[in-house]
């Protein structure tokens, strides 16, 4: 009941977090990876010690491949980013990286993506994002079609969507900070992370709403506020425990897992955390708030 | 009761068998500790994606501006066929060559995707794949076939026809005017001999000339199956009207990076599993132990499915699998929390267990539906990378629902706790409650 009683505080916390995330996103922006904008990325390692990055930049300038970014990776390696390269340019790039044969270079990975692939991926990302959101709205509308008193089913749906946006906005905000201070970029996996958060967050909210629905049916209490409060008490252990296990595996993926899925795991951990937080501290208080507004409009007395 | 216990033992044995299958069918594990296994198991190793095995992923754009729109599909199919032949000549194990139609914002693009596992020295592969197909007509020489001046440039097109009498498939060739003269000369000089047609340096057809052919139209007949004839037509046409391809994307992953990724993935999965197991035992006690057994079965079932379907494993799909381990616990947690509530209402352990399962089912179903929806949409729209993740996640959610509902239930029922002692209650309680 504590949460319902102090609902305005929790709603305010969520509102501030979302607002900060939106401001961060719109001012700092996100770095797009070559998946979306096209370009090339080469990871090389110098097993016998690496040259200075300035030396590499200098050598690459002669190759006339436009702007080149050289980043340090690990103890012996560099990541080199350029525009998308043709096969001839790629061969020239790796030749230049050995600084005329004076350094031994190991080519760890190379990825060059033409602009048309980036365009296609952007389109696919937008289509799948819209499709997931639409499908989830339809699913919630269906799942709650029988609940109508005292809050009608479509309002559950809207609250679930608000919660959903909250759960996606905050991890994106965190990602923006990460992207600003390090070289983390928005790639295909970022989109997958956002979509997965959508799926997981709504499932958590649904479990809470499900319990409210069940308790309304069983006439646990005549007071809606109390019904929601007691439903929360019944389900919060489950919500926390479930996301705890998922966060446990995600953190192990972040700390011990492959480099390529590190930030994906971090993003999902944040999404999982706020997904659970919001189903307890945002969705349920909102439900009560909506009911109170309704009552106020119809002139009922509120305790 | 006996029945439930037998089922539990059967499930356990099946689980051990599945684990045995997963372990012994993996060639890399063989050297660590050899366990005898049927030879057929060797046919089911894990299928590794390029980012794990190392290799090269190439995407080409096909220029079909010279091809009629009704022939695009055929042209792409023969292009695929040609490139596949070249890649096979290159000696790559299990190459994948596929065509794809990509819709960009306004236009469509025909693409050819080539995966070359294990090939990291891409210079030669790219040079070989990128060549324009070369179609040659050769005549019998002393020991070998000898090239003539007739090439694919002079062939207008090849079509598949059927003999009106015998209904057998025939491949018809139509040469242009220069080609007609050249072909007429060649056939005149080689009556009764073979004229071999070469594509990219290897023979694709070796018909025998019956008489001089001067009209510019030739027919190759013989005991073709319609499919063989169609393939030949495609190959001839690709030499006649080559579809130029340009490389638009290259991705190479060195073998060392792939190996590091696998090691890190396995490590993360094991550590994650360990954390989850510790949590389950500490919080849920006896039911937690059951959940761990169910979870282990879940892991072996999933790994076996990866081998049997087979699912191409990438860093993303390993991540999907690791996440699914965490999610698989969800159904168990839902059930155990219900169990606890029922016990609080003063019901016996057995009754609470039964109610717990039946009442938790709806929540389990509803909470997994949205994850399944997301997985389906990701699979539908995704690129190959996303597809792998979506497939593993979707498969994981479905399997975990089954493992919680069937496996955990049978094990818990099989315990058949009649005792209502404090200790029994303690074992079935959870959290910090006594």
Which segments in chain A show pLDDT lower than 70? 1, 147-148, 299-303
Mean pLDDT in chain B? 84
Residues B199-243 have pLDDT tens digits of: 888 888 888 888 888 888 888 887 778 888 888 888 888 777 667
CA distance B332 to chain A (A): 9
Q: Is A213 helix (H, G, I), strand (E, B) or coil?
A: helix
Average pLDDT over residues B179-195: 89
Per the structure, how many domains does chain B have?
Answer: 2
Last residue of a domain, one of B253, B275, B308: B253
* Pick from B157, B148, B146, B237: nearest CA to B184: B148
| Predicted pLDDT at A220 | 78
- Give per-residue pLDDT as tens, A96-119: 888 877 888 888 888 888 888 888
Note whether residue A149 is domain-resident.
Answer: yes
Please indicate whether, in this complex, the C-beta atoms of B250 and A90 are within 8 angstroms of each other.
yes
**Residue B351: which of B416, B296, B406, B291 has the closest Cα?**
B416
Residue among A86, A195, A256 whose CB faces B271 most closely: A256
A61 and A142 co-located in one domain: no
Whether A134 and A282 share a structural domain: yes
User: Are both A186 and A61 inside the same structural domain?
Assistant: no
**Full domain range(s) for residue A134:** 2-33+116-297
Dihedral of the CA atoms B266, B271, B276, B278 (nearest 10)?
140
CA distance B262 to chain A (A): 7
Cα angle, residue A237 at apex, residues A235 and A240 outer, rounded to 5°: 105
Instruction: For residue A276, tell me if it sits in a domain.
Output: yes
Instruction: Please say if the pLDDT value at position B434 is more than 50.
Output: no
Residue A249: which of B109, B326, B373 has the nearest Cβ?
B326
Residue-level pLDDT at B305: 93
The answer to whether the Cβ–Cβ distance between B315 and A255 falls below 8 Å is no
Does B342 reach chain A within 8 Å, measured CB to CB? no
Do A193 and A77 belong together in one domain?
A: no
- CATH number of the domain bearing residue B313: 1.20.1640.10
- pLDDT confidence tier of residue B32, bands split at 50, 70 and 90: low
Find chain B residues with C-beta within 8 A of A128's C-beta: 377-378, 380-382
User: A212 lies in a domain?
Assistant: yes
The reply to whether residue A252 touches residue B248, judged by beta carbons under 8 angstroms, is: no
Q: B58-72: per-residue pLDDT in tens?
A: 999 888 887 778 888
Check if B341 contacts A (Cβ < 8 Å): yes
Residues of B in contact with A110 (CB under 8 A): 250-252
CATH number at residue B77: 3.30.1360.200
Nearest CA in chain B to A247: B326
On whether both A164 and A201 belong to a single domain, the answer is: yes
CA-nearest of B268, B329, B335, B269 to B298 is B329
Choose the most confident range, by mean pLDDT, from A245-254, B155-164, B332-341: A245-254
CA distance B100 to B115: 13
Given an 8 Å threshold on Cβ–Cβ distance, is B316 in contact with A241?
A: no
- Reported ipTM: the value is 0.85
Report the distance separating Cα A124 and Cα A121, nearest Å. 5
Q: What is the pLDDT of residue A300?
A: 59
Q: For residue A302, is it within any domain?
A: no
Sequence-distant (6+) residues with CB within 8 A of A270 are A170, A171, A174
Q: What are phi and psi of B197, to 5 degrees?
A: -105, 120
User: What is the model's pLDDT at position A270?
Assistant: 94
Contacts B377 to A, Cβ<8 Å: 128, 131-132, 135, 195
**Percent of chain B scoring above 70 in pLDDT:** 94
Same domain for B137 and B264, yes or no, is: no
Strand blocks (E) in B18-127: 47-48, 55-62, 96-103, 108-117
Mutation to test the A interface, candidates B116, B319, B329, most A Cβ within 10 Å: B319
The answer, yes or no, to whether residue B267 has pLDDT greater than 90, is yes
Query: Which of B157, B125, B105 has its CA nearest to residue B55?
Result: B125
- Model confidence over B70-89: pLDDT tens digits? 888 888 888 888 888 878 87
Evaluate whether A261 touches B315 at the Cβ level (below 8 Å).
Answer: yes
Environment class of residue A62 by beta-carbon count within 10 Å: exposed (0-12), middle (13-18) or buried (19+)? exposed
């Amino acid at each position: 009941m504590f949460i319902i009683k102090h609902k305005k505080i929790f709603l305010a916390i969520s509102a501030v977090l979302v607002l900060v995330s939106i401001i961060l996103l719109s001012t700092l922006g996100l770095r797009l990876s070559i998946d979306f904008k096209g370009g090339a990325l080469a990871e090389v390692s110098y097993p016998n010690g690496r040259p200075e990055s300035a030396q590499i930049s200098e050598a690459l300038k002669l190759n006339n491949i436009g702007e080149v970014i050289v980043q340090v990776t690990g103890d012996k390696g560099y990541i080199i980013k350029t525009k998308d390269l043709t096969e001839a340019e790629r061969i020239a790039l790796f030749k230049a990286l050995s600084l005329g044969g004076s350094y031994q270079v190991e080519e760890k990975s190379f990825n060059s993506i033409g602009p048309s692939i980036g365009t296609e991926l952007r389109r696919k990302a937008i289509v799948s994002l819209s499709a997931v959101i639409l499908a989830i709205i339809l699913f919630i509308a269906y799942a709650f079609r029988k609940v109508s008193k005292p809050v009608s089913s479509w309002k559950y749906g809207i609250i679930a969507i608000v919660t959903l946006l909250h759960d996606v906005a905050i991890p994106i905000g965190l990602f923006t900070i990460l992207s600003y201070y390090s070289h983390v970029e928005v790639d295909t996996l970022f989109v997958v992370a956002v979509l997965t958060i959508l799926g997981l967050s709504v499932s958590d909210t649904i479990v809470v709403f499900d319990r409210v629905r069940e308790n309304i049916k069983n006439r646990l209490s005549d007071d809606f506020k109390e019904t929601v409060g007691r439903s929360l008490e019944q389900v919060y252990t489950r919500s926390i425990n479930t996301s705890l296990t998922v966060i446990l595996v995600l953190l192990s993926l972040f700390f011990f897992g492959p480099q390529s899925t590190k930030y994906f795991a971090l993003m999902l951990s944040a999404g999982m955390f706020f997904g659970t937080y919001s189903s307890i501290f945002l969705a349920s208080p909102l439900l009560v708030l909506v009911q109170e507004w309704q009552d106020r409009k119809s002139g009922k007395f509120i305790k | 009761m006996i029945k439930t216990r037998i089922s539990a033992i059967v499930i356990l044995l099946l689980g051990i068998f599945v684990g045995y299958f997963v372990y012994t069918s993996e060639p890399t594990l063989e050297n660590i500790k050899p366990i005898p296994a049927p030879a057929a198991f060797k046919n089911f190793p894990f299928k590794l994606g390029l980012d794990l095995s190392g290799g090269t992923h190439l995407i080409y754009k096909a220029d079909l501006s010279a091809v009629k729109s009704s022939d695009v599909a055929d042209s792409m199919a023969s292009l695929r066929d040609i490139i596949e032949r070249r890649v096979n000549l290159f000696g790559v194990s299990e190459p994948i060559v596929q065509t794809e139609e990509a819709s960009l914002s306004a236009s469509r693009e025909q693409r050819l995707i080539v995966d070359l596992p294990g090939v990291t020295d891409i210079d030669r592969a790219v040079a070989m794949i990128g060549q324009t197909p070369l179609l040659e007509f050769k005549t019998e020489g002393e020991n070998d076939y000898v090239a003539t001046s007739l090439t694919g440039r002079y062939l207008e097109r090849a079509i598949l026809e059927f003999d009106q009498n015998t209904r057998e498939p025939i491949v018809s060739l139509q040469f242009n005017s220069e080609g007609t003269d050249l072909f007429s000369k060649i056939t005149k000089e080689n009556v009764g001999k073979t004229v071999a047609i070469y594509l990219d340096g290897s023979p694709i057809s070796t018909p025998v000339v019956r008489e001089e052919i001067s009209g510019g139209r030739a027919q190759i007949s013989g005991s073709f199956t319609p499919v063989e004839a169609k393939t030949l037509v495609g190959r001839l046409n690709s030499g006649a009207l080559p579809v130029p391809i340009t490389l638009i994307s290259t991705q190479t992953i060195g073998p060392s990076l792939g190996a590091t990724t696998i090691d890190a993935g396995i490590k993360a999965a094991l550590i994650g599993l360990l954390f989850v197991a510790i949590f389950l035992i500490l919080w849920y006690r006896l039911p937690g132990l059951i959940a761990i057994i169910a979870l282990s079965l879940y892991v072996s079932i999933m790994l076996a499915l990866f081998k049997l379907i087979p699912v191409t494993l990438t860093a993303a799909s390993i991540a999907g699998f690791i996440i699914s381990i965490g999610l698989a616990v969800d159904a168990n947690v839902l059930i155990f929390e219900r169990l606890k509530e029922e016990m609080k209402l003063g019901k016996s352990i057995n009754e609470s267990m039964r109610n717990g399962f039946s009442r938790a089912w709806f929540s389990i179903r509803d909470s997994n539906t949205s994850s399944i929806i997301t997985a389906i949409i990701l699979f539908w729209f995704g690129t190959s990378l996303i597809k792998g993740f979506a497939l593993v996640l979707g498969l994981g959610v479905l399997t975990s629902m089954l493992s919680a509902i069937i496996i955990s239930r049978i094990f818990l029922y099989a315990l058949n706790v009649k005792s209502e002692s404090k200790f029994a209650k303690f074992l079935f309680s959870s959290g910090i409650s006594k």
